Structure 1
C-alpha cells in the first residue's frame, strides 16, 4: 500500500505541475506556497472536524510540526529559489536525485531503518533513469552557472530528507493517521512561510491580469498537488521505508511525460527508453519491498 501511495503522490505532482504552469506569473513562489498551504489546511481541517482523530501524543504533534517547518517551509522555499536561479531542469535534477539518497542515509543514521542491497539497486536504477530523462528534456535555453542555485537545490534535498525521516518515524508507529499528519506538516510549513512573507513584504494576494481566471486552475492544482499528494505521502510513510517512498516520488518527472502524451505532446525515443528502464527499477523496489513497514 505504501508503494502505491508513493506512486500516487508522484502522479498527483505531475498533473498539478502542468496545472500550476497555467497560472503563469500570477503567484510569486512564496505566495504560491502560502495559498497552497492555506487551502489544503482548510480542507484537511474540515475533514478532521467531521472525522476527529483519536488522541495524538503531544510529542508526535511537535515532531510533525517540525517536519513541516523544515521539509515544506524551508525546503520548498529553497527549491523555488533554486528554480529561479538555475532553471527547472537543473533544480529538479539536483533535488530529486539527492533527496532519496539523503533520506536513505538519514533513515539509517537516526531511526535505524536500512534498505536491502536489492533495494539500493532499484533506487540507483530509478534515479539514474530520472536524471537521464530530465537531461533529455532539458530546454535549449542556457542558464548562467550559479553556485547559489545549486546550493539551494542541495538545501531543498536535505530539508526534504529530514522531513521524510521524521514523518516516517512518527507514522510507522501507527499512533497517528495520515490526514492528521498531513494537516500538522502543512501548519508547520506555514510557521516558516508567513513570517518570511511578512518580513520580505511580499504581496499575499496574487497579481492577476484583468479578465483572466487563475483561481480555478490553481485550486484544482492545489487539491491534487498539495492536499491529495501530502495525504498520500503520509500514508506511504506509514507503510513503506522512507528511502523507498522518496525514490518513488521522484518518478513524478517521468509521469509528467505521460501527462504530456495525454495532452498530445510527443516524447523522444530517449525519454521513452529511460522511462522504461525506470519502471524496471520500480519493479525491483516493489519486489524486494517486503517487510518495509515495522
Structure 2
C-alpha cells in the first residue's frame, strides 16, 4: 500500500469510526437505564469479542506472544475496562451530547502525556491548540439551565474527563505497538477488547453474587435490538476502524478525526427533534478547531 493510499485509508477509517460511535452513543443511552456502567461495558465485550475473534481467524491471525501483545492488553484494560466504564457512567449522568463532547479532552491529554513521558516537545502553536480545546469544553460544561441550575452533574463531568484520559492513554500505547510490530488491526482490536472484557467479567462477578444471572435476566426483559446495534456499530466496527486508522496514520491525526463524533450527533439530534443549544454547538466547533491547531 502506497503512503498516499495508507493515509487516505487511515483518515476515512477514523471518520467512519466517529460516525459509528455517534450512532452507538445514542443507542447505548437508550439501554443505559437497564444496566450499570460496568454491566453495560461487559455486555458489549461479551458480544463483540467473539465477533472480532471470528473475523481475525477468517483473515488469518497474526498474534504471537510478545512484549507488544502484553502492552496492547494493558492498553485495553486502561482504555476499555476503565475508560469505557467511565464513559458509560458519564453517558448516564450527562446524556449523549455532553458525554461525547468531553472526549474532546483526549487529544490535548495525549499531547501532554507524550510531552511528559516521551519527551516530545510542545510548540507554542500546540499549547495554543490545547488551550482553545479546553476553553471550548469548559464553555459548554459551564452552561446554565433556564432555572439557573447547572445542566451537568459534577460526577458526570469527572467521569467524562476520566474517560478522555483513559482513551488518550490507550490510543498512544496501541499506536506504539502497531508501529513496532507486524500485527493486523483486527488482531489488535481483539486483544484490547478481550483483555478489557476479561477483567470486567472478574470485577462484575466478584462485586455481586449472582451478577451474571441478573444480567442475563435483564437482557431478556428488554428489547435487545438497540443494544445489539450499539455493540455492532460502536464496539465491533468502531474499534476495528480505530485500529485500522492508527495503523496507517499518526495517533494525533487519528484522535483529531475521531473527535468529530459529537458533530455527527447534531444532524441526528435534529432528526430526533432533540434540543441542542447554540452555545453547545459553538463550543464543540471551538474545541474541534483547537484539536486541529494542536495536531494538524
| Counterpart contact for 2:26–2:96, Cα < 8 Å | no
**Hey, what does 1:215 align to over in structure 2?**
224
| Counterpart contact for 1:13–1:225, Cα < 8 Å | yes
**Hey, what does 1:29 align to over in structure 2?**
37
**Hey, what does 1:105 align to over in structure 2?**
112
Query: C-alpha deviations, 1:196-215, integer Å up to 9, x for none?
Result: 111111333252586x5x21
| Counterpart contact for 1:15–1:256, Cα < 8 Å | yes
Higher relative helix content: 2
**How do 1:130-209 and structure 2 match up within 5 A?**
132=139, 142=150, 151-173=158-180, 175-201=182-208, 202=211, 203-205=214-216, 207=218
CA distance in structure 1 between the partners assigned to 2:284 and 2:159 by the alignment: 27
Alpha-carbon distance, 1:117 to partner: 5.2
Change in 2 beyond 3 A, CA 1:228/1:93: closer
**Residue ranges of structure 2 left out of the alignment (5+ in a row):** 1-6
| Counterpart contact for 1:69–1:191, Cα < 8 Å | no
Query: C-alpha deviations, 1:21-49, integer Å up to 9, x for none?
Result: 33352222222111111111111111111
User: Are 1:96 and 2:103 an aligned pair?
Assistant: yes
| Counterpart contact for 1:79–1:152, Cα < 8 Å | yes
SS at match of 1:227: helix
**Residue ranges of structure 1 left out of the alignment (5+ in a row):** 289-294
| Counterpart contact for 2:14–2:241, Cα < 8 Å | yes
Query: C-alpha deviations, 1:249-285, integer Å up to 9, x for none?
Result: 2332222112212334465444454555566556657
TM-score normalized by the length of structure 1: 0.78
SS at match of 2:33: coil
| Counterpart contact for 1:168–1:237, Cα < 8 Å | yes
Change in 2 beyond 3 A, CA 1:80/1:139: farther
Change in 2 beyond 3 A, CA 1:66/1:138: farther
Query: C-alpha deviations, 1:147-197, integer Å up to 9, x for none?
Result: x66554444333222211111111123611110110000011113211111
| Counterpart contact for 2:79–2:167, Cα < 8 Å | yes
| Counterpart contact for 1:16–1:224, Cα < 8 Å | yes
CA distance in structure 2 between the partners assigned to 1:254 and 1:209 by the alignment: 33
RMSD over aligned CA atoms reads 3.5
Q: How many residues align?
A: 283
Alpha-carbon distance, 1:124 to partner: 4.9
CA distance in structure 2 between the partners assigned to 1:162 and 1:56 by the alignment: 23
Residue in structure 2 matching 1:226, options 229, 235, 244: 235
CA distance in structure 1 between the partners assigned to 2:98 and 2:272 by the alignment: 24
Alpha-carbon distance, 1:60 to partner: 1.8
CA distance in structure 1 between the partners assigned to 2:62 and 2:216 by the alignment: 36
**Hey, what does 1:291 align to over in structure 2?**
none
| Counterpart contact for 1:126–1:251, Cα < 8 Å | no
CA distance in structure 1 between the partners assigned to 2:15 and 2:199 by the alignment: 28
Change in 2 beyond 3 A, CA 1:164/1:260: same
Alpha-carbon distance, 1:135 to partner: 5.6
Change in 2 beyond 3 A, CA 1:5/1:127: farther
User: Are 1:242 and 2:244 an aligned pair?
Assistant: no
